[in-house]
Structure formats: C-alpha cells, structure tokens
Amino acid sequence: MLKKVAIVVAVIGVGWYSQVGGRQINESQVRDYYRQESHAFYSRDPEAICKLISSKYVGTERMTVMGVSQQSTANREQTCQSQRSAFESFEKVGDKMGGMLTIEYVQQIDSIEIAPNRKSARVTGTKTLKMGGAIMEFSTRFTEDIEREWGQAKLVRSDTSTRVFMMGDSGMKQSDFFK
C-alpha cells in the first residue's frame, strides 16, 4: 500500500513539474505578460500589476526630473506599494483637475532574448506614460527579466531609466502631482 502511495505521489510530482514548475518560457508568453501589464495599468488596478511581479523581484530605477537624477532599488513589496501610491496620486490629480485624469500608456518591446535553457527571457524596450494629455510624461527605457513561476510569466528583475517631462502651462507644479 505504501509503495502505491509513493508511486502516485511521484506521478503527481512529475506531472506538476512538467505542467507548471518546469514549463519553459517562450516569446508568446512574454508578450502576453506585457499585454496583461498594460491591461492592468489601463484598468488602474495596482493589485493586478503586483500579481505579475515575482516574490524574488529586485528592481533598479534611475529617475531624472527637471535635470535632477536619483537612483533607487526596490523589492516586490516596495514596488507594489509604489504602484498603489501612484494610482492614488492619479486619482487625486484627476479630482483637482475636475474629473478623471486621462492616462495614455504605451509599451514598445525592442528585443526579447530567451535564455538557452528557456527558463527566462530578457526584454528591452520603452514605456511611455502621458498624464492629463500634455501635462506630464514619463519616458522609460527598460531591461527586464521575465521567468515562469507557478505556470505564469512574472517579472523577476528590472533595470529602468526614466525621464519625467512637464509640458505646457497647466497651472500645476510638479509637486502638485505627488501630494
């Protein structure tokens, strides 16, 4: 009886590994990851974005605003909290402007390199976020590593460089966006 249980457990383990744990990543899965990220962003759903980030995530960001650059490193929880705060800020800015803040979010993938073992992909490209028409723009160059985790493509590492542009005479200062 114990031998049969061991065989059943082994078969289930091998099945799980081949269907979930060991599944290799391909370009289609990577592109699907970015579609999901874009959909979550347009849905203004930071929790959906967080579900796409691995628990082992580490990100490095360089941000330049009005000629001043800062660099930071964040883990998954810090990144998720930053996403929540950003979406709360978008809502506050929209309220100050008398309605919902319009957001335009565009991703451009320049390259996808699948690792030889097909366990990860390195993706380079740009992401552009325009808020309130021509009021503020975030232009980001990124290099990101995507891996399969529990059957889903997830972000495990990112290295980004973002430039923030203030446009037009909106009557709002940069600090008004982040109160």
Mean pLDDT score of the chain: 86
In this structure, what is the dihedral angle of CA atoms 165, 167, 170, 173, given to the nearest 10 degrees? Answer: 30
Compute the average pLDDT of residues 138-156: 95
Q: pLDDT at position 8, please?
A: 64
Domain count, the chain: 1
Cα–Cα distance for residue pair 63/71, rounded to 1 Å: 6
In this structure, what is the dihedral angle of CA atoms 165, 82, 43, 92, given to the nearest 10 degrees? Answer: -70
Compute the average pLDDT of residues 1-27: 67
Res 92 pLDDT > 90: no
Q: pLDDT at position 61, please?
A: 97
Could you give the C-alpha distances from 20 to 14, 148, 150, in angstroms and in order? 10, 9, 6
CB 60 within 8 A of CB 156: no
Q: pLDDT at position 119, please?
A: 94
Spatial CA neighbour of 167 closest among 131, 127, 136, 133: 136
Q: pLDDT at position 153, please?
A: 96
Look-up: residue for tokens 């579609």? 35
The helix (run of H) or strand (run of E) holding residue 15 is helix 2-16
- Residue 83's domain comprises 2-177
| CATH number of the structural domain spanning residue 29 | 3.10.450.50
φ/ψ (deg, to 5) at 115: -60, 150
Q: How many CB atoms lie within 10 A of CB 57?
A: 21
